[in-house]
């Protein structure tokens, strides 16, 4: 079964938490692994490493409110802390008492909040190309400030119909080192099509984006040390959104149980560009910790 077919072979479950419903898919058996996407992706982003991971673990893929197969009401809270609380409540509903988390960019911000606030629940924490204290990635603060203004969702939906915009710095240019990735519609289309087809999905994506809390992220410089989970940072070397040079500076903010691994010839989405390298790192890290314990 291909990676995409495996992902689509499981029906999405909608889990109601307060004013939102989180899309959930589960694969495999064994130790619980929770995979949290970032912006502007959703659970589909894990499709390439899912086959290998689901042979070893029970993998729970989530679609956070604002993206993918999630739903929300007008009163929903999209802040990073609220997203963390939604996931914590979901895991409790599902009877998950201990788990590992794999998370990417803004999803890894949410994951760190969970690891700090639910220290006994999270055993391993794998963070992939994520927000860095006192760093602001290009374009994101701008989109946060204007994304929900009248007509902006319409203009963004229109612009995303054109390849030049999708491949521009305002679009997805920095997603991949290998620009041939843009030629395969299986890569970006699952993220673009919901926005192109639905005004509500566009607004949801911008609400998610606006919820990224820079105050919490900047405080990570001091609160990373409160994370008890064994932690691994995986970074696409060529990423210009979260440059690796300043990403590495976070290592000393964690306790001594933190590793850092660079992925060559990869940018913001190393788990999509170099899935074999990323999955091998993840499986090796988690199994090593299991054996040590």
Task: Give the fold, CATH level 3, of 3-136+212-292.
Answer: Rossmann fold (3.40.50)
| Domain residue ranges of the chain, discontinuous segments joined by + | 3-136+212-292
Q: How confident is the model over 48-68, as pLDDT tens digits?
A: 999 999 999 999 999 999 999
Pairing of strands 99-104, 58-63: unpaired
Rama region for 198: left / alpha / beta (φ>0; ψ in -120 to 50; rest):
beta
| pTM for the model | 0.97
pLDDT along the chain (293 residues), means of 10: 82 96 97 97 98 97 97 95 98 96 98 97 97 97 96 95 96 96 96 95 97 98 96 98 97 92 98 98 93 77
Instruction: Mark out the alpha helices in 40-121 (DSSP H runs).
Output: 50-56, 80-93, 105-117
pLDDT at residue number 5: 85
pLDDT at 292: 79
Cβ within 8 Å of residue 228, ≥6 positions away: 115, 119, 120, 122, 255
Angle at 177 between CA 133 and CA 61, to 5 degrees: 65
- Tell me if 24 sits within 8 A of 60, measured CB to CB: yes
Residues 6+ apart with CB under 8 A from 1: 9, 51
Residues 115 and 174 sit within 8 Å (Cβ to Cβ): no
Q: Count of CB atoms within 10 A of residue 200's CB?
A: 13
Specify the pLDDT at position 63.
98
Q: What pLDDT, on a 0 to 100 scale, did the predictor assign at position 1?
A: 61
- Calculate the CA 71 to chain-centre distance: 17
């Amino acid at each position: 079964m291909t990676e995409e077919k495996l992902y689509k072979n499981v029906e999405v479950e909608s889990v109601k938490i307060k004013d939102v419903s989180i899309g959930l898919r589960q694969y495999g058996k064994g130790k619980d692994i929770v995979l949290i996407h970032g912006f502007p992706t959703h659970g589909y982003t894990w499709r390439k490493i899912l086959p290998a991971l689901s042979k070893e673990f029970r993998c729970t893929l989530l679609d956070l409110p604002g993206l993918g197969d999630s739903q929300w009401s007008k009163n929903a809270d999209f802040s990073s802390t609220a997203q963390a609380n939604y996931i914590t409540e979901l895991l409790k509903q599902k009877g998950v008492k201990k788990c590992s988390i794999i998370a990417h960019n803004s999803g890894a911000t949410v994951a760190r909040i969970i690891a700090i606030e639910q220290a006994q629940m999270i055993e391993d924490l794998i963070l992939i190309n994520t927000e860095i204290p006192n760093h602001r990635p290009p374009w994101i603060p701008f989109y946060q400030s204007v994304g929900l203004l009248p007509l902006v969702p319409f203009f963004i939906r229109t612009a995303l119909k054109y390849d030049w915009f999708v491949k521009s710095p305002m679009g997805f240019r920095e997603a991949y080192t290998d620009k041939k990735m843009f030629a395969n519609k299986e890569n970006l289309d699952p993220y673009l099509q919901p926005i192109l087809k639905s005004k509500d999905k566009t607004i949801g994506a911008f609400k998610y984006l606006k919820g990224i809390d820079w105050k919490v992220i900047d405080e990570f410089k001091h609160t990373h040390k409160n994370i008890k989970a064994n932690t691994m940072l995986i970074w696409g070397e060529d990423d210009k959104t979260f440059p690796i040079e300043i990403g590495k500076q976070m290592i000393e903010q964690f306790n001594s149980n933190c590793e850092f691994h660079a992925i060559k010839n990869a940018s913001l989405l190393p788990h999509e560009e170099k899935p074999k390298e990323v999955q091998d790192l993840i499986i090796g890290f988690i199994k090593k910790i299991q054996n040590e314990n």
